[in-house]
Amino acid sequence: MKVPLLDLKRQYQDVKGEIDAAIAEVVESQVFKLGPKVAAFEESVATYSGTKRAVGVASGTDALILALMAAGVGRDDEVVTTPYSFFATAGAIVRVGAKPVFVDIDPSTYNIDPSKIEPALTERTKVIMPVHLYGQCADMDAINEIASTRGIQVIEDAAQAIGAAYRGRRAGSLGDFGCFSFFPSKNLGGYGDGGMIATDSSKAADLLVSLREHGQTQMYHHWTVGTNSRLDALQAAVLAVKLRHLEVWSDGRAGNAAYYEERFEGTPVVAPHCEDWNRHIYNQYIVRVPRRDELLKHLREVGIGCAIYYPLPLHMQRCVESLGHAEGDFPDAERASRETISIPIFSYLTEEEREHVATTVLAFVGERST
Ligand SMILES: *Cc1c(COP(=O)(O)O)cnc(C)c1O
């Protein structure tokens, strides 16, 4: 039995009528730039995430870059973040001219370890940028406490975490800015690229609205230099439909995660640890396993979708060589990059499929299946 890591066709078949109608409506209107679809979707995301405002942009990467710009981060500033994330987290920091300062992860959640942040702060630290990796929130109370006592702003990289919650509050509403990605494989994925920044500050939101259109405050009058980064009306229309189904899809992922957890309990396959106070939305389901590279090869051979998120930590990327990091600087991030693998978790996975995935993984590590 072949099992895909993610099959978006199943989702589309399920909501095809609604999606096709929403796309047709935009095409009929010929309003492709911002307009009512984008405004309505921004409002829905703000309501869903529990913030006053949300500003649609062209990608999750742009959401991070524009949030950093709105936070006033620029040359010679430092941003504290995790070395274990998708590249955009560090890339956005470098793009605005600032320096990423990495802090190792908590090996059980794979998120930034707040107890290691304090020693990494300097007079130049402007922002802490935690990532809610795989769909589980970082320990935001600890992070916010460190930030607020020093006047540092917090930008959540919530690209993988729309709908996740921390002590009852939703991802994206936990810092000064919350950045979402609507890349197709995210839990709320568009039919192309898209992103959004959630914030409680209407001043910051107004600035973001200006920055996404070249810093204009009025047509052709520019008070600051921004960029061209709008959310397309077509994407907003698709995403608005999908947002209505997001809770069901996230619960479906959590159901699959609960199944795997039970199967892997007491075996050498280490299931992801979800803190009691978190709602994990499982954008990825990551297990820590012995002989990871061999398991990857085996699963590929038998047709089970899998991937490594992420094989090379950010501090070891060639483009940030000038930061002077070496292997061994962030041992928990490095170990996670060697020992973990992502297996199928999407909500349309069938019971037979998830059973086959668990049995295959367990057989590989020498556990008899139950
Ligand atoms: C996907 C992702 C991004 C970037 O989002 P894009 O929409 O692909 O630009 C940033 N950070 C993390 C953690 C991501 O997973």
Residue 38 CA to ligand 1 centre (angstroms): 20
- Provide the pLDDT for residue 369: 59
Q: How far is the CA of 185 from the centre of ligand 1 (A)?
A: 10
Q: Where are the beta strands (DSSP E) in 169-247?
A: 169-170, 177-181, 195-199, 216-218, 221-222
How does pLDDT run along the chain (370 residues), one tens digit per residue?
999 999 999 999 999 999 999 999 999 999 999 999 999 999 999 999 999 999 999 999 999 999 999 999 999 999 999 999 999 999 999 999 999 999 999 999 999 999 999 999 999 999 999 999 999 999 999 999 999 999 999 999 999 999 999 999 999 999 999 999 999 999 999 999 999 999 999 999 999 999 999 999 899 999 899 999 999 999 999 999 999 999 999 999 999 999 999 999 999 999 999 999 999 999 999 999 999 999 999 999 999 999 999 999 999 999 999 999 999 999 999 999 999 999 999 999 999 999 999 999 999 999 765 5
Six-digit token pair at 78? 């430092």
- 3-state SS, residue 288: strand
Q: What pLDDT does residue 370 have? A: 55
pLDDT per position as a tens digit, 248-295 = 999 999 999 999 999 999 999 999 999 999 999 999 999 999 999 999
Residue 136 shares a structural domain with residue 71: yes
Residue 123 carries which DSSP code? T
Q: Is 110 inside any structural domain?
A: yes
Residue nearest to atom 6 of ligand 1 (CA): 60
Here the tokens at position 196 are: 């959004």
> Both 218 and 133 in a single domain?
yes
Q: Rounded to the nearest whole angstrom, what is the distance from the C-alpha of residue 131 to the centroid of ligand 1?
A: 10
Q: What distance in Å separates the CA atoms of residue 159 and residue 100, rounded to the nearest whole number?
A: 18
Which atom belonging to ligand 1 lies closest to the Cα atom of 193? Answer: 7
Residue 88 alpha carbon, nearest atom of ligand 1: 10
User: Best substitution site from 57, 86, 230 to test ligand 1's pocket, by max atoms within 8 Å of Cβ?
Assistant: 86
- Report the interhelical angle of 351-364 vs 246-264 (nearest 10°): 30
For residue 310, the CA-to-ligand 1 centroid distance in Å is 13
pLDDT in tens, 6-28: 999 999 999 999 999 999 999 99
Do 64 and 85 touch, CB atoms closer than 8 A?
A: no
Please give the model's pTM, rounded to 2 decimal places: 0.98
Span from the CA of 60 to the centroid of ligand 1 (angstroms): 5
Index of the ligand 1 atom closest to the CA of residue 133: 13
- Look at residue 234 in the predicted model and tell me its pLDDT: 98
Q: Is residue 370 included in any domain, yes or no? A: no
Return d(Cα 12, Cα 20) in angstroms, integer: 10
Tell me whether residue 279 is in a domain.
yes
Q: Are 31 and 161 in contact (CB under 8 A)?
A: no
Q: Is the CB of 131 under 6 A from ligand 1?
A: yes
Same domain, 51 and 192: yes
Q: Which residue has the tokens 């529990």?
A: 50
Residue 156 covered by a domain: yes
Q: Which residues pair with 3 in a beta bridge?
A: 304
Whether residues 233 and 90 fall in one domain: yes
Given 215, 243, 271, which residue is the final one in a domain? 243
**Residue 347: CB within 6 Å of ligand 1?**
no
Candidate from 136, 160, 308 with most ligand 1 atoms within 8 A of CB, to mutate: 160
Model pLDDT, residue 142 = 98
Res 368: pLDDT: 66
Atom of ligand 1 minimally distant from the CA of 181:
7
Ligand 1 within 6 A of 160 CB?
yes
Is the domain of 52 the same as that of 158? yes
Q: Of 186, 212, 243, which closes a domain?
A: 243
Cβ(110) – ligand 1 distance below 6 Å: no
Q: What are phi and psi of 343, to 5 degrees?
A: -120, 165
Ligand 1, residue 61: give the atom nearest the CA. Answer: 9
Number of domains in the chain: 2
Q: Residue 251 and residue 246: Cα distance in Å, rounded?
A: 8
Question: 280: domain CATH number?
Answer: 3.90.1150.10
Which residue segment(s) compose the domain that 159 sits in?
Answer: 8-243
Q: Which two tokens stand for residue 24?
A: 């047709």
d(CA 171, CA 179): 9
Domain shared by 60 and 161, yes or no = yes
183 CA distance to ligand 1 middle (Å): 7
Give the torsion through C-alpha atoms of 300, 305, 309, 310, to 10 deg: 20
Question: Does residue 260 share a domain with residue 215?
Answer: no
Cβ neighbours of residue 52 under 8 Å, at least 6 residues apart? 46, 199, 200, 201, 202, 205
Atom of ligand 1 nearest to the CA of 186: 1
CATH code (residue 197): 3.40.640.10
Neighbouring residues of 58: CB distance < 8 A, sequence distance ≥ 6: 193, 194, 195, 212, 228, 229, 230, 231, 232
**In Å, how far from its chain's centre is CA 191?**
17
Give the chain's end-to-end CA distance (angstroms, integer).
Answer: 18
Residue 59 CB less than 6 A away from ligand 1: yes
